[in-house]
């Protein structure tokens, strides 16, 4: 079932000035309930512009975005409501923290939804748990914590609104591998518990292969590939052509395949590669 | 959208006015302002208007652009005109009226004077990049160093402020979007509510400005910046033939206005 439908979406920046610039160009997509989607594409390919359309932060130059069949840009009220149902975490979200305590910052979203005090309290604790923020941090000032902790607090601030669709724009940029993995685990547990649809913008092919069912590749403001990791990564040449690559494991598997070590190169994660190599080794030993 | 605001208002171009040395243009603007305030009677006003139009023609700045810039000043211009209209002594337009012929005359002249004043300075900022402008200012104010005025530091601060305006606008835009995504509302509510709604923008903006300032200071120090003493520059300002001609014309213009004033024109 489609929750979000994007029809012929087009966005032009600074329309009517000499600085006119096409951000995205004729994008049509449907996104189903509970999907795990990763948006890929090099810098400036239009992914960030695209996600800002999904919660009506940007208004399309032409085309429309439908949430449960209703145009989200119909009027002021639909534009406000969509922000509660579609949660968007920006790139480097730690720079938007402003409250005196972590608790107050996470509560900012629910408070704007005019919820009751108890409801807010419940949501703050729940969101903190999902985002991996320890309860002992809640009374601290968010500005004095480490980068990774700040990032998790900012994500909790969006999760506290209990969005049906959670969008994160490069949530792991600038974090170490352990921190990145933990953030993906947190997102996964939020999705499993809430049934939310998750859309993540990422540059990491490894993460794309490991955590997502559907990959959408942007290039020059249009969708150039849309499919499962298997489908997308099997077209390695096309990916290289638009300035992206395949996961390291796939690269290695392809090299091994060319030398006749592996029977095929359909390998996308380290675990799969390990299994394939062990299997091939086992057969050779026999 | 915040991004659409034009700041610094520099229109890149390749006209002779654009190519003039920024120092020349600064001096010319000062001469122009002096001349403008010397002009008293209509003939000299007409001369000033004519010169302004010629300069606009050479620098290819359209009237439309000038009017766009004048918009925020409309209130002040209108207020000056109204005050002059009602508070000038003389012969009333009609028996018993407060408005006098002299008042109308003065009101129109004052409006023209302010408009021309703004137009003249616009011609400077429209044709000179902010960096060239601060360079020119630093060179012109150099003698003040003898009086222990920190000229170099002042102009450095000016150029840094100008440099960071677009960065800060972009950042404000980003923070606003992020807070909007969390349901913040900047458009409705009473004045106090709206002022309060700015807090989620201002706090992160201040925090990141301080961080940026810190980083900039470290970056400058690690490249051995130690103030203006003995510092040379990559783009030396050089006076050309055109600059001398322009300055000469400027002085002639000022002289002409003064001569006209002497003869009551």
Residues B150 and B67 in one domain: no
Give the helix ranges, DSSP H, for chain A.
Answer: 47-54, 76-85, 102-112, 117-130, 147-159, 177-194, 205-211, 229-233, 236-241, 248-258, 270-285
Q: Do B200 and A157 touch (CB under 8 A)?
A: no
* Residues whose CB is less than 8 angstroms from the CB of residue B118 and which lie 6 or more positions away in sequence, other chains included: B69, B70, B73
Mutate to test the interface with A, among B178, B184, B202 (most CBs of A within 10 A): B178
| Mean pLDDT, chain B, integer | 86
Q: Is residue B125 part of a domain?
A: yes
Say which of A57, A113, A143 has its CB closest to residue B180: A57
- Read off the pLDDT of each residue in A227-251 and give the average, rounded to a whole number: 85
Q: Indicate whether B154 and B130 sit together in one domain.
A: no
Grade residue B3 by pLDDT with cuts at 50, 70 and 90.
very low
The reply to whether B134 and B247 lie within a common domain is yes
pLDDT at B29: 94
What value does the mean pLDDT of chain A take?
87
Q: Do B179 and A96 touch (CB under 8 A)?
A: yes
- The model's confidence at residue B88, banded by pLDDT at 50, 70 and 90, is confident
pLDDT score of B49: 93
Number of domains in chain B: 2
| pLDDT of B160 strictly over 80 | yes
Residue A98: Cβ within 10 Å count: 21
- Cβ distance A95 to B177 less than 8 Å, yes or no, reads no
Q: Do B184 and A87 make contact, defined as CB atoms within 8 angstroms?
A: no
Is residue B7 pLDDT above 70, yes or no?
A: no
Q: Please give the residue of chain B at the shortest CA–CA distance from A86.
A: B181
CB A21 within 8 A of CB A5: no
Which residue among B4, B181, B200 sits closest to A88, beta carbon to beta carbon? B181
* Paired tokens of B222: 């690690």
- Is the pLDDT assigned to residue A77 strictly greater than 80? yes
Query: Model confidence over B178-205: pLDDT tens digits?
Result: 998 888 888 777 888 888 888 899 999 9
Task: Please give the Cα distance from A54 to A66 (Å, whole number).
Answer: 9
Q: What is the mean pLDDT of residues A20-26?
A: 82
Chain B residues near residue A93 by CB distance under 8 angstroms: 178
Percent of chain B residues topping a pLDDT of 90: 32
Residue A1 predicted with pLDDT over 70: no
Lowest mean pLDDT among A109-123, B5-19, B145-159, B213-227: B5-19
Which among A17, A51, A80, A95 is the top mutation candidate for probing chain B, defined by the most B β-carbons within 10 Å of its own β-carbon?
Answer: A95
Residue in A closest to B11 by C-alpha: A18
Residue B157 pLDDT greater than 60, yes or no:
yes
Question: What pTM does this model have?
Answer: 0.75
Tokens of B233: 């520059």
Minimal Cβ distance to B177: which of A52, A109, A158 = A52
- Does residue B121 lie within any of the structural domains? yes
Contact list in B for residue A57 (CB cut-off 8 A) is 177, 180-181
pLDDT for residue A18:
62
Nearest residue in chain A measured CA to CA from B179? A96
For A93, the token pair is: 């979200």
Give the integer Cα–Cα distance in Å for A215 and A17.
35
State whether B175 and A14 contact (CB < 8 Å). no
Quote the pLDDT of residue B9.
Answer: 67
pLDDT for res B254: 93
Contact status, residue A95 vs residue B204, Cβ threshold 8 Å? yes
CB contact under 8 A, B183 and A98: no
Question: Residue B5: pLDDT band by 50, 70, 90 thresholds?
Answer: very low
| Two tokens, residue A138 | 């809640």
**B80 shares a domain with B111:** yes
Q: What is the mean pLDDT of residues A57-61?
A: 89
- pLDDT tens profile B46-71: 999 999 999 999 988 888 888 877 88
Model confidence at A161, in pLDDT bands (50, 70, 90)? very high
Chain A partners of B204 at a C-beta cutoff of 8 Å? 95-98
Q: Taking the alpha carbons of B161, B163, B165, B168 in that order, is the dihedral positive or negative?
A: negative
What is d(CA B265, CA B41) in angstroms, rounded to the nearest whole number? 5
Cβ-based contacts of B197 with chain A (< 8 Å): none
* Beta-strand pair A21-32/A2-13: antiparallel
Of B3, B199, B204, the CB nearest to A96: B204
Which residue from A minimizes the CA distance to B178? A90
- Judge if B60 and B161 occupy the same domain: no
**Which helix (H) or strand (E) is A4 found in, with range?**
strand A2-13
Question: Considering the domain boundaries, does residue B1 fall inside one?
Answer: no
Asked if B207's CB is within 8 angstroms of A95's CB, the reply is: yes
Q: What is the mean pLDDT of residues A12-41?
A: 83
Check: CB of residue B61 under 8 Å from CB of residue B119: no
The DSSP result for B37-68, as a single string, is HH--SHHHHHHHHHHHHHHHHHHT--HHHHHH
Q: Which residue has the tokens 């004519």?
A: B50
Determine whether the interchain pair B200/A96 forms a contact, defined as Cβ–Cβ distance below 8 Å: yes
Domain contains B102 = yes
Looking up tokens 């009551």 gives: B264
- Residues of chain A contacting residue B199, judged by C-beta atoms under 8 Å apart: 98
C-alpha distances out from residue A15 to A44, A61, A79, Å: 18, 9, 21
Which of A14, A93, A161 is facing B178, going by the closest CB pair?
A93
Give A57's DSSP letter. Answer: S
Over range A236-260, report the average pLDDT: 85
**Residue B4: per-residue pLDDT:** 45
Percent of chain A scored above 70 by pLDDT? 97
- Inter-residue contact A97 to A138 (CB < 8 Å): no
In this prediction, residue A253 carries a pLDDT of: 87
Residues B214 and B244 both lie in one domain: no
**Chain A residues whose beta carbon lies within 8 Å of the beta carbon of residue B175:** 95-96
The distance in angstroms from the start CA to the end CA of chain A is 48
The model's confidence at residue A285, banded by pLDDT at 50, 70 and 90, is low
How many C-beta atoms lie closer than 10 Å to residue B41's C-beta?
A: 13
In this prediction, what percent of chain A has a pLDDT beyond 90? 26
* pLDDT surpassing 50 at residue B1: no
Q: Is residue B120 part of a domain?
A: yes
Q: Cα(B100)–Cα(B209) distance, rounded to whole angstroms?
A: 55
Question: Tokens 């243009």 — which residue?
Answer: B25
**pLDDT for the residue numbered A19:** 65
What is the token pair recorded at A196? Answer: 């939310």
The answer to the question of residue B86 being in a domain is yes
Tokens of A215: 């990959």
Question: How many angstroms separate the CA atoms of A39 and A283, rounded?
Answer: 38
CB proximity list for B192: less than 8 A, separation 6 or greater: none
B145 closest CA partner among B231, B21, B237, B229: B229
Range of the domain at B47: 17-140+239-262
Report pLDDT digits (tens) over B216-254: 999 999 998 887 777 777 777 888 899 999 999 999 999
Of residues B1, B177, B208, nearest to A90 (C-beta): B177
In a mutagenesis test of the A interface, which of B169, B183, B196 is the best target, namely the one with the most A β-carbons within 10 Å?
B183
Residues B121 and B155 in one domain: no
Per the CB < 8 A criterion, the answer to whether A204 and A189 are in contact is no
Q: A80 — contact with chain B (CB < 8 Å)?
A: yes
Q: Which two tokens stand for residue A216?
A: 């959408």
Residues B40 and B126 in one domain: yes
Cα A159 off chain centre by: 13
Q: Do A109 and B183 touch (CB under 8 A)?
A: yes
pLDDT exceeds 80 at position A85: yes
Under CATH, what is the fold of the domain A2-229?
Answer: Rossmann fold (3.40.50)
pLDDT, mean of residues A71-88: 87
Cα–Cα distance measured from residue A179 to residue B262, given in angstroms and rounded to the nearest whole number: 80
- Residue B172 shares a structural domain with residue B248: no
Nearest CA in chain B to A114: B183
Alpha-carbon span A262 to A274, nearest angstrom: 11
B208 and B245 assigned to the same domain: no
For residue B25, pLDDT over 90 is answered with yes
| Contacts B203 to A, Cβ<8 Å | 98
* B93 falls within a domain: yes
Chain A residues 95-114 within an 8 A CB cutoff of chain B: 95-98, 108-109, 112-113
Task: Assess whether B247 and B116 both reside in one domain.
Answer: yes
Among the residues of B128-198, which ranges form H helices? 130-140, 151-181, 191-197
Cα separation, B223 vs A115, in Å, equals 53
| pLDDT of A284 strictly over 70 | no
Average pLDDT over residues A72-95: 87
Instruction: Tell me, yes or no, whether B4 lies in a domain.
Output: no
- Within this chain, do residues B246 and B172 fall inside the same structural domain, yes or no? no
Q: Do residues B182 and A104 touch, judged by C-beta distance below 8 A?
A: no
């Amino acid at each position: 079932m489609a929750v979000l439908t994007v029809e012929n979406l087009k966005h032009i920046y600074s329309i009517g000035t000499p600085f006119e610039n096409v951000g995205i160009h004729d994008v049509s997509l449907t996104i189903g309930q509970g999907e795990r989607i990763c948006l890929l594409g090099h810098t400036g390919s239009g992914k960030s512009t695209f996600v800002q359309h999904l919660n009506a932060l940007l208004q399309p130059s032409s085309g429309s975005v439908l949430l449960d069949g209703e145009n989200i840009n119909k009027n002021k009220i639909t534009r406000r409501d969509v922000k509660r149902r579609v949660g968007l975490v920006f790139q480097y979200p730690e720079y938007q923290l402003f409250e005196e305590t972590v608790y107050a910052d996470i509560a900012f979203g629910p408070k704007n939804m005019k919820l009751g005090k108890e409801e807010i309290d419940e949501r703050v604790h729940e969101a903190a748990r999902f985002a991996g923020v320890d309860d002992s941090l809640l009374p601290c000032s968010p500005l004095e914590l480490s980068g990774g902790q700040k990032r998790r607090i900012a994500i909790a601030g969006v999760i506290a609104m209990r969005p049906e669709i959670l969008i994160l724009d490069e949530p792991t940029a600038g974090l170490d591998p352990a921190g990145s993995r933990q953030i993906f685990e947190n997102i996964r547990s939020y999705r499993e518990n809430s049934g939310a649809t998750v859309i993540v913008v990422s540059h990491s092919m490894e993460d794309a292969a490991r955590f997502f069912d559907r990959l959408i590749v942007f290039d020059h403001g249009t969708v150039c590939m849309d499919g499962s990791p298997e489908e997308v990564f099997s077209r390695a040449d096309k990916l290289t052509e638009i300035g992206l690559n395949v996961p390291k494991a796939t690269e290695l598997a392809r090299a091994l395949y060319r030398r006749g070590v592996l029977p095929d190169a359909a390998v996308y994660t380290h675990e799969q590669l390990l299994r394939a190599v062990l299997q091939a080794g086992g057969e050779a030993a026999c | 959208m915040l991004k659409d605001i034009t700041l610094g208002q520099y229109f890149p171009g390749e006209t002779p006015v654009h190519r003039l040395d920024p120092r020349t243009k600064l001096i010319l603007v000062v001469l122009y302002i002096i001349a403008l305030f010397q002009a008293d009677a209509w003939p000299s006003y007409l001369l000033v208007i004519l010169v302004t139009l010629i300069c606009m023609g050479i620098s290819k700045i359209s009237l439309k652009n000038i009017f766009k810039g004048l918009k925020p000043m409309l209130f002040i211009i209108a207020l000056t005109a109204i005050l002059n209209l009602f508070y000038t002594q003389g012969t009333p337009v009609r028996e018993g009226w407060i408005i006098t012929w002299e008042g109308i005359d003065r009101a129109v002249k004052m409006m023209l004077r302010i408009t021309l004043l703004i137009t003249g300075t616009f011609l400077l900022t429209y044709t000179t990049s902010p960096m060239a402008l601060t360079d020119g200012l630093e060179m012109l104010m150099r003698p003040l160093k003898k009086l222990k005025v920190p000229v170099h530091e002042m102009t450095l601060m000016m150029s840094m402020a100008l440099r960071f305006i677009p960065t800060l606008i972009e950042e404000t835009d980003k923070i606003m979007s992020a807070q909007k995504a969390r349901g913040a509302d900047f458009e409705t509510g009473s004045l106090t509510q709206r002022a309060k709604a700015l807090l989620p923008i201002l706090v992160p903006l201040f925090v990141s400005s301080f961080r940026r300032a810190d980083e900039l200071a470290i970056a400058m120090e690690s490249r051995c910046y130690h103030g203006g003493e003995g510092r040379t520059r990559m783009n030396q300002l050089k006076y050309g033939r055109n600059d001398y001609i322009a300055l000469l014309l400027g002085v002639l213009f000022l002289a002409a206005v003064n001569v006209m004033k002497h003869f009551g024109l």
